[in-house]
Structure 1
Amino acid sequence: MFAKDQIHSAEDARKLAQRKLPWMVFDYIDGAAGRELAAQKNRSELNKVSFETSVLRNVSERSLASTVFGKPTDRPFGISPMGMCNLSAPGADEMLARLAARYNVPLGVSTVASTPLERLIEVAEGHAWFQLYFSGDGATTFQLVERAGAAGYETLVLTVDVPEVGRRPRELRHGFKMPFRIGPKQFVDFALHPDWSIRTLMSGRPEMANFRAPGFEFDRTESRAGADWNTLAKLREIWSGRLVVKGVLSANDAKRLKAEGVDAIQVSSHGARQLESARSPFLALKSIRAAVGEDFPVFFDSGIRSGEDVLKVLGGGADFAFLGRILLFAIAAGGEEGLHKIWDVVSEEADIGLAQLGQTSINRESIAAQLLFE
C-alpha cells in the first residue's frame, strides 16, 4: 500500500513520518518548548469548543473559497513559513510552492528556508509571502527585505515571538544544529533510517539557502532580542508592500500594531516552540479580534490539525488560517502525493463541517454564530 493511501488524518501522517524520519529530524519538526505543555494546552482549548449543527438546509453546493488581502483563494487556509522544510524530504520547499500555486493560497517562505527565496516565489507563481526574522544588529535583516522586494514579494511577515530561540529539550537531546554536526549518536540515527539518509545524501545536505551568498550570514541561535518598536517603524518605512506581524498573543500589542500601520496580525505561539507557559493562541484570538475591530485582517496558526480546526479558528475570529507541521509530516510520509493527500483530507473535513453547519460558503460571522465555548 502506498503511504498516501494510509493518510486519513493528520495523526496518520505524523505516525508514518515518525517511522520514516531520523529521530533527530522528527523531534525537530514535532517538538515544542519545555515539557510541551503549551502545545497540549492549545489542543485542549481547540478541543473544548464545539459547533451547534443545523439540519434540513440545502447544502448540496458548497465552496471553500476565501480571500486574503482582497485576492481570491481556493481554500480558507494557506501554508505557514517553516524553516528547513527539506529535512522532511528533498524538494519539500518546492512541493509546498507548487501546492500554493495550484490552490492560489499564500506560501510562507521562511528566512531559514532550504531553497532560495527567489526560486520559491517563482515556483509558487507569485503566491508567496516572505517571513522575516530580525537578527543581530539588523544588517542582514534589511538586506533580506531588499532581496524580497527585488524578487517580487508583495507581503512581508515579520515574526516577533523569537527574541531568543526557545529551549526545546527534544532538539537538545539530539544535539540538533544547522548545519548538521555528525557525531556517533547522529551516525547511528541516520544509519537506522537508510531511505531518508540515502535520498538526502543524493540530493545534498539541507542548508539555510538564503545565506549562501557572500555577506549573508545567519546564526539560528543568535539573539533577536534587539528588535523593538523602532525596528518595526524602520521596517514600515522601507517596506512599501503589505506587512504582517506574526507571533502576537496580546490584545494590547495587537492594538498598538494596528496603530503603527501594519496591515495584518497573525495570532500564533510559533507552534508552542518558544514558551512552555505561553497563552493558548486560540484563547488569545477572541480578545485580539475585539481589540482590533471586525474589519482588520487577523490570521491564525498553531495547533491546527484538521478542517474542523480551521472552521473553529475562523469562527473564533480569524480571517484566514495557516497549516504547518502536518504538511511536513505528510511529505515525510509520502512525498508530494502525501502532501496532496493531507491537503485533500483537511479540505474534505472543512467541507463536511460546512455541510453539518448548514452552510454553503466560508463566512466568519456565520460560523461564529454556531461556535459553542464550553
Structure 2
Amino acid sequence: MTEKFETALIHAGRAGTKTYGYVNPKLTRGSTVLYPDMATKLTLGKRYLEPVELYGICGTDTHFALEAAIAGIEGGSHCQVVGSGLAAITMPLLAYLSAGDHLLVPDSVYGPTRTFCGTVLRRFGIETSYYNPMLNEAGLAALIRNNTKVLFTESPGSHTFEVQDIPALARAAHARGVKVFMDNTWGIHHFQPFVHGVDVSIQALTKYVGGHSDIILGAVTVNSDPDWAWLRKGSLELGQYASPDDCWLALRGLRTLSVRLRAQEQAALTMAHWFAEQSEVARVLHPALPSCPGHEVFKRDFTGGCGLFGVVFQPQFSAAAVVAMIDSLKLFGIGASWGGYESLVLPTTGTISRSAGTGVFEGEIARFQIGLENIDDLIADMTQGLAVLRAA
C-alpha cells in the first residue's frame, strides 16, 4: 500500500504500530560509542554510509529517524541532516566543488548563499556566475562552460519569488554533465525535486518542518548511491553535525506538518488575493497568482504552496512609509525566518542584491509570512497598516 503524505508523516521514523514501546522515537544523545571488541569496531567503521551508530558526529538513531523521514518527503534515497539551513547549502557545495570549478547561481538566490559564493568559494578558487532565474533551456545552456560543475537553483526565488523552469534547466545541465542543486525549502511536499531533474535537494528544516520557531536545522537529500557517497563523505570531513535534540523536535514537528502547511497555504492565498485588490499595492509576488514571474510553471510543477509571499507597493510609497506601516502592525512580528506558527513581515527592497539585471520592480517590497492566526484578524491589522502607509 502506498501511503498518502499525511499518513507517511505520522509513521515516518517510527518503529511501527505493532511493536511494544512508546509512540515517539527516543531521543539519543552521545559522543562515544562502545564496541565489544576491536573486530566489531573495524567492521562497523567501514559502514559509515549506512545508518549505524559509530561516533556522535556520524549520527544517532534520532538523526537516522529524521533523515529517513525527510528522504521520504523529498522522494529521495538518502538524507544528511546538518546544523542549519545555511549549512545545508554550503556543505554540499564545498563537498562537491574544487578549485578551478565554475558554479551557476540564480540572481534571485538567498542572500547568505550569495555571500558564501562571493567570499568562501572565491577564496577557494571557485568562480560563481549569476543568471536570470527566468532563463529557458537554451539560455542556460549558453552559460555552461567546460568547467561548470554545479547549477544551483532556488524556486521560488528569495524575496522576489520567481518560479524557475527546473525540468528545462536540468535538461540543459545534465546534457553537459552538470549537477543540479536546489533549495527546495519553499516547496516542501508540493514540489518533488527528483521527479523534475534535481540531483541534490536542500531543506531548511528550521522552517515548516520544525514549525515552532525554536530550532535551527537543515537537510540535504539525494537520490542515488554515488551522490550519497560524496555527500556523506563530505559531511563527515567537514565536521557537520546536528543536535539530536533539534532532530527530535523536528520529528515532532513533522507529525503536524500537513495540517499546518495546508492551513497556512490557504490563509496566505486569502491574504494574497486581498492584497491584490488594494489600491496601495502594485503587484503581489505569490506564485499562485498570475502577477508572479513563473506562474504558469508553478501551476505545472507544484501541487500547492506555503505561507510566504511578497508584496510590491505602488511607487509613490517610500521605504520610510513602508517601515511606518510595518511598525504599526500588531499581529505581524518583525523578524527573519519563516515557517513557524506566527505571522511575520520584513521590508526586503534594501536586502535584494542583483548582478544579472533582474529584480527590478515598481516600488518597495515587503515579505509576508502568514501564520496560524485568524485570517480576519490579520486582514483587519493590515487594513489599519495600509492607512498608516497612506498617511506616512
So what's the TM-score if we normalise by structure 2? 0.27
The structure that has the greater radius of gyration is 2
So what's the TM-score if we normalise by structure 1? 0.28
Q: Which has the higher contact order (CA 8 A, sep 6+)?
A: 1
